[in-house]
Amino acid sequence: MAVTAAVAFVAVVVCAAAFLVVRSALYEQLDLTLTQSARLAAQREPGAGPGTLAGECRFLAAPACAQVVPADRAEDPRTPGLLPVDPAAREVAAGRRAPYYTDITLAGHPARMLTTDYAKGRALQVALRADTVQDGIAEAAGWLLLTAAAGVLLAAVLGHWVSRTGLAPVTRLTATAERIAATRDPRHRIELPPPGREDEITRLAGSFNTMLGELEQSVTAQRRLVADASHELRTPLTALRTNAELLARADRLTVPQRERASAALGRQLREVTGLVNDLIELARDEEPQPLVEQVRLGPLVEHCVQAAREHWPQVPFRVRVPDAAGGAGAVVPGVPARLTRLLGNLLDNAAKFSPAGLPVEVELAVLAGGPELTVRDHGPGIAAQDLRFVFDRFYRADSARALPGSGLGLAMARQIARAHGAELAAQQAPGGGALFRLTF
């Protein structure tokens, strides 16, 4: 409709302009003929008195009719002339007005008349029938109207075709969105045209496909998290229920049995509580902005290592942190409690896999791109096939399944790192062991 309206407006304007040009050209040609006729009449009768000079205007193709008009009405001939005389013609005869053209009706036919100066005190009126001119103007108007209507109709047809063709991706996008809303399946995609035919709508469809891909990943990750969480919670909840039922029959147990069941119940409650807390932490997408402050990494690393020493007394920790002058650049914006949780998870993971007597090495360096923290252990390391999964939720390598933990610590560490604009990577350490590199 917008294309049709625009073309209709242009067509009307162009046709109106063309009509005015044609009308002006036809009348200009008629006026030129009148001027030549007046010159010929003046040459044939140079001193004629008031009255009719030629009266052939009743014929369509005959020469012009002409009459002389005096300035003084008293000099008019007794027989009225063929052409109408108005006060302006007297003024031309008196020399007080320039020649002019007039549209008149003569014997029931349209005509065009020129009133010009003739002699002193006289004016010459010359007229020609304008039937052919008006017929030409009417014919041109008809053709122009027909052309405008055809143009508008063609614009409507082509505009409808262009709009349906150009907005076809939007139709497919709408259908895909409605299908996803009905099926709740984000795997659907919009079909894109072949390369080389991209336009704004295609880019919109491509962006929508990208959004669908992100949505699919999010839904898949959510479903996997729920499935993994239910799987991980099933075992401790079963153990909790077993110990609770056992303690419910405490009168049948000995004192050592009750103490063991009570200790196991407490331990399992702590494990479930830790697992639920980790799940809550992983559900957070970003850090609370009001808590962000400038954090000095050196003191934070030393604090976390000291806490790890208390938790893992059998594991030695070696720390290398720049001094106050060299570590001036080791300051990052962040939430101290969350960064403490990140480093604590890395240190716990390293201590868990460290053999007795072998140290966990922690080093903070200030590089040109920003601070970098590495945590290295001397344990069995990470198998090549496990490297790309170590940060997945609930993922545990075969060698780690017998060790304590829920498999959420490294996933939480990477989430906290990315929330702080940092990148956490894992790799095989030279000489054996695992090395985790945190780059801000």
- Is the pLDDT at 304 greater than 60? The verdict is yes
pLDDT tier for residue 385 given thresholds of 50, 70 and 90:
confident
Angle formed at CA 71 by CA 70 and CA 76, multiple of 5 degrees: 40
pLDDT recorded at residue 426? 92
From residue 383, how far is each of 76, 398, 427, 429, 432 by CA, in Å? 126, 10, 9, 11, 11
User: Which range, of 5-19, 196-210, 303-317, averages the lowest pLDDT?
Assistant: 196-210
pLDDT tier for residue 234 given thresholds of 50, 70 and 90:
confident
Read off the pLDDT of residues 55-84 as tens digits, 9 standing for 90 and up.
Answer: 666 555 556 788 888 888 888 887 777 788
Q: What DSSP element (H or E) covers 350?
A: helix 336-353
Residue 137 CA neighbour count, 13 Å, CB half: 16
Q: 377 is written with which tokens?
A: 């252990």
* DSSP-based three-state secondary structure for 112: strand
From residue 308, how far is each of 130, 270, 311 by CA, in Å? 111, 19, 5
Q: Report d(CA 373, CA 25) in Å as an integer.
A: 89
- Reference 397, options 429, 366, 365, 434; nearest CA is 434
How much is the average pLDDT of 273-282? 70
Within 167-296, where are the H helices? 168-183, 200-248, 255-282
Read off the pLDDT of residues 39-51 as tens digits, 9 standing for 90 and up.
Answer: 887 877 777 778 7
User: Which range, of 4-18, 69-83, 182-196, averages the lowest pLDDT?
Assistant: 182-196
| Most confident segment among 123-127, 320-324, 364-368, 373-377 | 373-377
DSSP symbol at 76: -
- Is the pLDDT at 405 greater than 60? The verdict is no
pLDDT recorded at residue 394? 66
pTM to 2 decimal places? 0.47
Q: Report d(CA 42, CA 283) in Å as an integer.
A: 106
Residue type, 281: E
Q: What DSSP element (H or E) covers 376?
A: strand 371-376
Neighbours of 432 (CB within 10 A): 13
Which residues face 375 on adjacent strands?
362, 436
pLDDT recorded at residue 196? 73
Give yes or no for a contact between 209 and 189, defined as CB atoms under 8 angstroms apart: yes
**Residues listed for the chain:** 440
Read off the pLDDT of residues 327-344 as tens digits, 9 standing for 90 and up.
Answer: 556 899 998 988 998 999
What burial class does residue 290 get, using C-beta atoms within 10 Å of its C-beta: 0-12 exposed, 13-18 middle, 19+ buried?
exposed
How much is the average pLDDT of 310-314? 88
